[in-house]
Amino acid sequence: MLDVDDVTLQYKTDDRLVTATYKVDFQVHRGDRFVLLGPSGCGKSSLLKAVAGFIKPVEGAIRLNGEPVRGPGPDRMVVFQEFDQLLPWKTVFQNVLFPLRARGVPAKEAAERARDYIAKVGLDRFRDSYPHTLSGGMKQRVAIARAMATEPEILLMDEPFAALDALTRRRMQEELLQLWDDVRFTMLFVTHSIEEAIIVGNRILVLSPHPGQVKAELNAHAFGHEKSEGFAALENRIHTMLFADQPTAPVKTTRAARP
């Protein structure tokens, strides 16, 4: 469904050219929970932005259902890490409704869909609340409901739980899996947490440090929150894979030049 074909992404700054990813290749199938995993700076967010159509590859191509991605479109919705992605002057209901109406969904159907997705993320009671009165986790639920209500071809999630406390993060991962069981949407999920990748993903693309290149594609469909032996083995395998690339710390001499 989504074909990322040997994609190289670069940024031009005033004084240099930064290569964010180099010839990254992967395919996402309908219903996949596909995770991009890698250390900070390996180009995960850049890949997501390229799929969203915000940046163009300098090499390679991105296709959705066979059509080249040429810019942002309603078939791809992004959920970001930041809690301030909601419109502060609109209620939860109005936030979820807004993109539906903007896409021309008739008023009655849009209102029904907004209510339905707000209920799916468990925020029925907060439909008329404003974002500033909600917790971080609740704001992320609204952002997820808003993105899902438009029923995009693929949901793009850029570390959506990274700014949450550990307990809320865990609960949100569980809720996302429940939502997936319910709706069976397709998602591309970015994280630098190995644990989160195994919990959330059915397939994991492991990227090397900057510039990001594909190290491996792994199957994780068998794992949820329960820490089985298999879970731990996969966690270790990915850990070894990622840390094999880390430069070793410089050896300190015991008698450094001290005054």
Ligand X SMILES: Nc1ncnc2c1ncn2[C@@H]1O[C@H](COP(=O)(O)OP(=O)(O)OP(=O)(O)O)[C@@H](O)[C@H]1O
Positions that interact with ligand X (CB under 6 A): 11, 13, 18, 20, 38, 40-46, 192, 210
Distances (CA, A) of 178 to 87, 122, 163, 224, 257: 26, 12, 21, 11, 59
- HSE-up of residue 36 (Cα within 13 Å, Cβ side): 32
Q: Work out the angle at residue 24's Cα, subtended by the Cα atoms of residues 23 and 27, and round it to the nearest 5 degrees.
A: 135
Query: Least distance from C-beta 192 to ligand X, angstroms?
Result: 5
Report how far residue 145's alpha carbon sits from residue 92's, in angstroms, rounded to the nearest whole number: 10
Closest separation in Å from C-beta 224 to ligand X: 24
Least Å from the CB of residue 149 to ligand X: 26
- Cα–Cα distance measured from residue 80 to residue 85, given in angstroms and rounded to the nearest whole number: 7
Closest distance between ligand X and the C-beta of residue 182, in Å?
Answer: 29
Q: Which is nearer to ligand X, 244 or 256 (CB)?
A: 244
| Nearest CB to ligand X, comparing residues 13 and 254 | 13
Nearer to ligand X, 124 or 245 (CB): 245
